[in-house]
Amino acid sequence: MLPDLLVLSTVEYGPKPSDFVGCYGTDAMLFGFECEGFIGAKIISFALNYPLYHLYMPLFVIFKPTLVFAVVGLWFFPVMFLISVKKSREIGT
């Protein structure tokens, strides 16, 4: 989330010329980040968009029900973390 805010605060929003190097925010249909012009741009772009997938993927299940497996995979670890925090607080008191 912090890198997302850093990109938005340092780079002008919207499409860039073909010789642009770096990352920027875009909204083709949904808001996201795109990176181009350097090695590893696709990986950095995926990392910047990963938190957004948690928001968007449950909405896409309406259009393609098989994406429920992706939603379960995305939300498994955050939910398990919250459950473990709750249980550790119960044990501590």
pLDDT, tens digit, 9 for 90 and up, residues 30-43: 788 888 888 988 89
Ordered alpha helix ranges (H), 15-93: 41-60, 68-92
Cβ count within 10 A of residue 84: 10
Report how far residue 83's alpha carbon sits from residue 42's, in angstroms, rounded to the nearest whole number: 33
Global pTM reads 0.65
Per-residue pLDDT tens digits for 43-68:
988 888 888 888 888 888 888 899 89
Domain spans in the chain, listed from the N-terminal domain onward: 2-92
Q: Is residue 75 within 8 Å of residue 81, measured between CB atoms? A: no
- Are the C-beta atoms of 21 and 8 separated by less than 8 Å? no
Pick the more confident residue, 80 or 15: 80
